[in-house]
Each structure stands twice: as C-alpha cells, then as structure tokens.
Structure 1
Amino acid sequence: MSSARPPRKKSAPPVDGPVEVPASAATGTPAVDTCFLRTLVGYNTRRASLAIIEVFMERMAVYDLKVVDFSVLSLVAHNPGVTSRELCATLNVLPPNMVGLIASLEKRGLIERRPHPSDGRAMGVHLTAAGADLTAQAEETAAQLEVDATARLTATERKTLIRLLQKIYLPAGA
C-alpha cells in the first residue's frame, strides 16, 4: 500500500504574469509570499488583532491589566451586579477560569461580590471605588488606542469594520 498523498491543488487566486515578491528591507532577501493568506478573513482578522493587542498590552501594563481583566472590569462597570455565569457566557470563558479572574480582581480591591437581589444562590459582581476609577482610566486608554491603531481608517470605515466583524461572531438579530 502506498501512503503517497496526491499533490495539493494550489488555491491562490490566479495571477496574470510572474508574481514579484518584494525584497525584505531588513535582509534584502525576497519577502515571503502571503498572497493566498491575505485572501482569508481569518488571517487578516488575526493579523489586525495581533497588531491591536500588542499596543493594548503595552498601554494596559500601567494598570496591570490583561485583555480579559479589562473585559471583566468593563462589563462589571456597565452591568453592576452581573453574575459570574453571565460573564462566562459573554466572554466565552470557562467557569473555573472565571473563578480565578474574579478572585484576582477581588484580591486587588477592584471588585466585590454581593448577594444577587433576585437569585439567592448567585453573587453579583460590583466595582469598588478603586475599581471604578481604574476602569474609567483604562477605558479612556483603550478608546484612544483604538483610534491610534485604526488611524488609517476613516470614522465611517472604522464603524463599518466593527459592524462587519460583529456580523461574523454575533448571533443574527443581536
């Protein structure tokens, strides 16, 4: 039995004439051809995300916040009394991981848990005064870094990009 695989079909879009691959400025060697990858939504989304996350991490370091910490604090700021279960569902975080996140933010004095007003079994998550101050500052920083990171887009293009990305991950009608 032969385990040879059939040759892969080239999936890149057809190109008229030879493909010129620009030389890398750093090495003078030909740059890697990414023409097919650049046709993929996932590849482009990931590359854009990485560029923004890098700036996010740099600017949030002064607050000692990771992306998920910031997301939890922002959700709690805009949804006082939100439950851990709701946070898990919104951020697609597993419950055991959320327990650690909540405990860490609580230990830093940024959030507190209080009994939920209508569900005796649940605890609502609230910002402390220090948490509210830190979150407000971090949200300002995040808003500015979004403007900086998307500076080559017009305001309309930015809104359109956000709307189109949401069409991919939000349920229809959301």
Structure 2
Amino acid sequence: MSVTGTTKNLEALSFILTAEFDAGVERVWQLWEDPRQLERWWGPPTWPATFEKFDFEPGGRAGYYMTGPEGEKAGGWWSFTSIQPPARLEFDDGFADDNGAPVEAMGSTHVTVTLEESSGRTTMTVATIFESEEQMEQMVQMGMEEGMTGAVGQIDAILAEHANA
C-alpha cells in the first residue's frame, strides 16, 4: 500500500497522511488537477466520488458527492485557496447538503497537499487542520483515517495503468 503513515495531533488540531508512489511528481499532481482521475480515488473504495463542479484555480470551487454501497449520497465541497503546480495545493473542505450548499454545523477543515519528488518517486503529504477538538474528534469517529487511507490506497493502481500504457 502506498500510505506510509498517519499522525493525529489533537493539540495541533491536525491529521496528517503520508504516502509514497512510484511515479514522478508531475504524474501524481495530475491525480489532483483532473477531476476524472480524482473521482477514481477520492473517497473510500466503497464510496466513490463524482465531481459535479471543478473550478481548479485559486478562489475556485469544487462540488462532489460520494455514493455509498446502498446508493446513499454524501456531499462535499472544496474552495481552492492556493495552487502551486506541481508541488502544493491548499483548499478548504466541508460537507454539503443535497443541493451542494455547505453544511455549516459541520464546519470546515483546511487541507494542504504537498508533493516532493526524489529519485523518480513522489512523497505526498496531506495535512488537514480542524477548527476545534470537537470537530476533529467527530471526524475521526466518522472514520476519516480509515476513509483517507483506503482512498489514497487506490492511487497505486491508477498510476500503474498509465505506466503500462
């Protein structure tokens, strides 16, 4: 599996996932900038994502939903705050209702993705910062760590397809 570690720090209100891939940084960046590729891995394996909106520029927004095994849907939104290809991406992330509007009661998190290449391999770090201890604990109880680990674990197969193409 590509995930090399996760760290939860309640004092810093952070959850950090680190993964390593047998691909260059430009290729791994494509997994974030192309919504069709993003749909193939964002969300746990049993909850695939569908991006309905994807305005990939600072100030732009993305809207998506994940579909569960019984057909249930869970919406989400991103607001891109910084895009520095191919090394860094920052966005605010939150839950959305059936109409794509933010669910204010759930708050939002700030996500920073960094990609670093070394010897043809890329290390990806996804750092999520929470608004409060309560929000962080709620997200962890909802399965955030397992969900993100499972989601990122799908990337190797996508990269292998392109490497063999």
Higher relative strand content = 2
TM-score grouping bracket, smaller chain normalisation:
under 0.3
Which structure has the greater CA radius of gyration?
A: 1
TM-score normalized by the length of structure 2: 0.28
Higher relative helix content = 1
Structure with the larger RCO, 1 or 2 (CA within 8 Å, 6+ apart): 2
TM-score normalized by the length of structure 1: 0.27
